[in-house]
Amino acid sequence: MNLLKRRIIPGLLFAIFLFATLIPVSIFAPFHYQARIVAFLFGFTILSILLYELFNANRLKKYFSIPLALITSSLMFFPLNAFELHILNTSNLSSIQKIQNGSTQFQELSKTMKLIGADWQSLIIILTVSLIFFAIELQTKINISWKDRLSRVFILFISIYILQISIKFFYFSILLNYWYWLIMIITAVVSDVGGFIGGKLFSKKWINKPFAPAISPKKTWEGFIFSISFGILVTSGLIFGLDLFPHNIALKTLFVAFGTLLAVIGDLYFSYLKRMNGIKDYSKILLDHGGVLDRYDSVSFVGLFMFILLVFA
């Protein structure tokens, strides 16, 4: 009963809220600026929460982590208006409204991801934030080697980059073709579900050695095998059935082959960050599900992977 109240019900309610909000927003975004405002506020809010939880996990005090998260999100997300204006000016909003062709929407999304990939200002912002983090730790953490200090700064830099890229991809797929953000989330979900089923039913029955003992001791090879298998099965049906990455069999194949693997790597990466900082969850905002970052970890790497595929499309 406690599992039902604290884990299953909150998880279902969160999923229902997410899809009930974002699917209508995605449908109306090309036609109504109000929907685009909602999408923008959603992206900004989620990025702010993710960064706050990341800073908080790195043991920054709340009076550092809250303003740093808000300032970073503001600097990195509000300039997205420039990218959106590019979409609306080059494609003409009326054209996007009229064109329901997946290939055209894909081309616009790919064009926008290329612009974001060339955005050097975001790299400067992330570097500045990482150096601020380094300066704060220099004053607040004494018994730590320079090697560990530099390692923590580098990991923070990489983490912020991954999170902001995946959120930007999320935001623009809401505007242009909602199937891409749905696939991003579905890939991560089926990876988690497959891993859970495989781990529960066949834990250490095939392979006795743990999957990643130094990072997540409870994960098993059976769970990993089920995660990848289930993920490939579901994503192949969706990617080819919906003709995502249209007219590009190479991108379709790459995503089906590696999308679920990236979801697993994302889960392990952010689990490593938790273990490095000696915490169990990034927060308790979702009760037994932990923080938003605990749910978004695998999604972020799938989003990063889709971003890379679109940049090189």
Query: Into how many domains does the chain fold?
Result: 1
Residues in CB range of 58: below 8 A, 6 or more apart = 133, 152, 156, 277
Structural domain including 262 reads 2-311
Q: What is the rounded distance in angstroms from the CA atom of residue 3 to the CA atom of residue 118?
A: 45
- Whether the CB-CB separation of 160 and 133 falls below 8 Å is answered with no
Element (H, E) at 152: helix 146-176
Judged against a pLDDT cut of 60, whether residue 200 lies above it is answered with: yes
- Whether the CB-CB separation of 149 and 134 falls below 8 Å is answered with yes
DSSP H helices in 99-145: 102-117, 120-140
pLDDT digits (tens, 9 = 90+) for 171-187: 999 988 889 999 999 99
Q: What is the rounded distance in angstroms from the CA atom of residue 270 to the CA atom of residue 276?
A: 10
Q: CA quadruple 15, 226, 3, 284: dihedral positive or negative?
A: negative
What is the arithmetic mean of pLDDT over 131-158? 92
Residues in CB range of 278: below 8 A, 6 or more apart = none
**Proportion of the chain above pLDDT 90, given as a percent:** 48
pLDDT digits (tens, 9 = 90+) for 46-82: 999 999 999 999 989 999 999 999 999 999 887 655 5
- Whether the CB-CB separation of 290 and 6 falls below 8 Å is answered with no
Least confident of 57-61, 218-222, 225-229: 218-222
Looking at the DSSP bridge assignments, the partners of residue 216 are 212
State the first-to-last Cα distance of the chain, in angstroms, to the nearest integer. Answer: 48
